[in-house]
Structure 1
Amino acid sequence: MNVVRVFTIAKNGFQEVIRDRILYFVGFFSLLLILAVRLIPEIAAGTHEKILLDFGIAAIALLSVIVAIFVGTSLINKEIEKRTLLMLIPKPISRAELIVGKHLGLVAVLAVMVGIMMTIYLAMMSFSAIDYPLVALAISAGYLLLELSLLVAVAILFGVFTSSILATLLSFGVYLMGHFSQDLVELGKLSKNESIETLTTSLYLVLPDLSRLDLKNEAVYGLLPNYTDLFSHALYGFLYTILLLTIAMIIFSQKEF
């Protein structure tokens, strides 16, 4: 795998996604936050500071997830539909390089989005005289980016062998179940049914446990896991992303065009 070619693909992918008006999401977030700052104190006096902190970090996560999944599922499909893939494959660009480059390009876009939205969010909290745990929120933003990187890998994996619509639905399904995978295990135990318990345990083992990368609720209170847990969660997200990309490369290499 040629690093120069991978970063060239990533750069082109970054520029292409930015041109697709992705940064309008940042403008929408800013408008949403301004409205929240104006309205929430009037309807939740006394608890508005906590609500605003929760609302802001949750909005950043939700908008970023939408971009990661909707854009991620179309990264490869778009190349196939536009027939540009047929021009790329004969050149000295491997399919693995294309997938890794597309992944890095979209993750870079998401990093810019999260960075800008976090800056706006913290500036708005400061302007509203709301105290916030800066370090904890910054760490949670870093783990959000790890989660988004994993979701982009999920979206690309589904995108290489299904339609964009189906890949989007499957990716959102993985996102939702990934946040409740531990609850699935408990649900299986409560059912007292061996088949259901086996199914829920299997889903827990196969699906990514995204709750390990979701630190926003703890960060709002300035509470984070210890350094050992933080490292293990980050390693988990990184290795799972590599696994998904590897599977996507294997499937994509078998496709005929």
Structure 2
Amino acid sequence: MTINRIFVIAKNVFQEVVRDRILYIIGFYTLIFGVSLRVLPEFAASTENKMLLDFGMVAMSVIILIVTIFIGTGLINKEIEKRTILVLVAKPISRSEIITGKFLGLSAVIAVLVTSMTGIYLLFLQIANIPHPTVSILIAAVFLFLQLSLIAAVAITFGVFTSSLLAIVLTFAVYLMGNITQDLVQFGRLSHNPIIQIFAQILYLILPDLSRLDLKNDAVYGLHALPDFTALTINLGYGLIYSVMLLAIAIFIFSRREF
């Protein structure tokens, strides 16, 4: 059954990542955030609460982003380089099942990391008696998971047809550009140059608008204490649809590769 095969692949990816001790990254996050609680107030006593709230969210995002990109780009590429992909394709498993299973396995890893780090983040804030908008932070964490899952789909897509190094560079580039797509459109309008405007619009249409899924500032400043569920639902749908489209592209390319 297709679902069972996808589940087995996803489970294997998750177990492989855990065996690589990647979950030690949770301890690393605990360490640096714990240190920040002691160090940051020394430099900015007047704004220490906002700085700590911001630092905790940013550190979480950056750490899991790095893990996602380095693992995601290698999920398929390493199989190809080591020729173990020949064993997989020889089995009664479709290539779409391989891509889907790899993606879901990596998404499970991301979910564990986001959940664990968010729990640690909230625990430290509670211990330090730092006022924080819990609802906003939880919403931001959910959308962080969605954003990083989308990046995982980008990483897997590039990993299907490029080398690991190039896939890493391209995925980082998509992440950086995806966070400023709206700024690119504004820049194109301000340039008054038709070519630049068209180019900026094309980039906006092709690249994922990751700012839709970035609610870190909202969490820090508590803007979603009473969330706009309509906007959140639209952005949630956007992230899911974009991830599915990327996986469809990855499956299309992978299905046409010869080994």
Residue 249 of structure 1: aligned partner: 251
Residue 113 of structure 1: aligned partner: 113
> For the residues of structure 2 that align with 1:19 and 1:110, how far apart are their CA atoms?
15
> For the residues of structure 2 that align with 1:176 and 1:108, how far apart are their CA atoms?
24
Q: 1:43-54 residue pairs with structure 2 within 5 A? A: 43-54=43-54
Structure 1 residue 226 and structure 2 residue 231: aligned? no
Q: 1:85-164 residue pairs with structure 2 within 5 A? A: 85-164=85-164
Amino acid at match of 2:60: I
Q: 1:22-33 residue pairs with structure 2 within 5 A? A: 22-33=22-33
> For the residues of structure 2 that align with 1:207 and 1:248, how far apart are their CA atoms?
15
Structure 1 residue 67 and structure 2 residue 101: aligned? no
Amino acid at match of 1:137: I
Q: 1:163-178 residue pairs with structure 2 within 5 A? A: 163-178=163-178
3-state SS of paired residue (1:155): helix
Amino acid at match of 1:50: K
Amino acid at match of 2:230: T
- TM-score, structure 2 length as denominator? 0.97
> For the residues of structure 1 that align with 2:163 and 2:82, how far apart are their CA atoms?
14
Amino acid at match of 1:165: L
Amino acid at match of 2:258: E
Amino acid at match of 2:29: F
Structure 1 residue 55 and structure 2 residue 64: aligned? no
Aligned-pair CA distance for 1:78: 1.1
RMSD value, Cα: 0.9
Please, which runs of 5 or more residues in structure 2 have no aligned partner?
none
Amino acid at match of 1:28: F
> For the residues of structure 1 that align with 2:70 and 2:12, how far apart are their CA atoms?
18
Which one is further off, 197-206 or 26-35? 26-35
Aligned-pair CA distance for 1:46: 1.9
Q: 1:176-195 residue pairs with structure 2 within 5 A? A: 176-195=176-195
> For the residues of structure 2 that align with 1:144 and 1:64, how far apart are their CA atoms?
10
Amino acid at match of 1:234: L
1:239 to 232, 241, 250: 241
Aligned identity (percent) is 56
Aligned-pair CA distance for 1:24: 2.1
Aligned length: 257
Residues 177-221 of structure 1, C-alpha deviation per residue, up to 9 Å, x if partnerless?
A: 000000000111111111011100110011000000000101112
> For the residues of structure 1 that align with 2:53 and 2:69, how far apart are their CA atoms?
25
Aligned-pair CA distance for 1:142: 0.4
Residue 37 of structure 1: aligned partner: 37
> For the residues of structure 1 that align with 2:153 and 2:199, how far apart are their CA atoms?
24
- TM-score, structure 1 length as denominator? 0.98
Aligned-pair CA distance for 1:28: 1.3
> For the residues of structure 2 that align with 1:95 and 1:82, how far apart are their CA atoms?
17
> For the residues of structure 2 that align with 1:207 and 1:148, how far apart are their CA atoms?
15
> For the residues of structure 1 that align with 2:77 and 2:158, how far apart are their CA atoms?
10
Residues 48-99 of structure 1, C-alpha deviation per residue, up to 9 Å, x if partnerless?
A: 0110000001111111111111110000011112221111111111110000
> For the residues of structure 1 that align with 2:222 and 2:3, how far apart are their CA atoms?
39
Residue 7 of structure 2: aligned partner: 7
> For the residues of structure 1 that align with 2:63 and 2:107, how far apart are their CA atoms?
14
Residues 7-30 of structure 1, C-alpha deviation per residue, up to 9 Å, x if partnerless?
A: 000000000011112112111111
Amino acid at match of 1:202: I
Amino acid at match of 2:92: P
Amino acid at match of 1:136: S
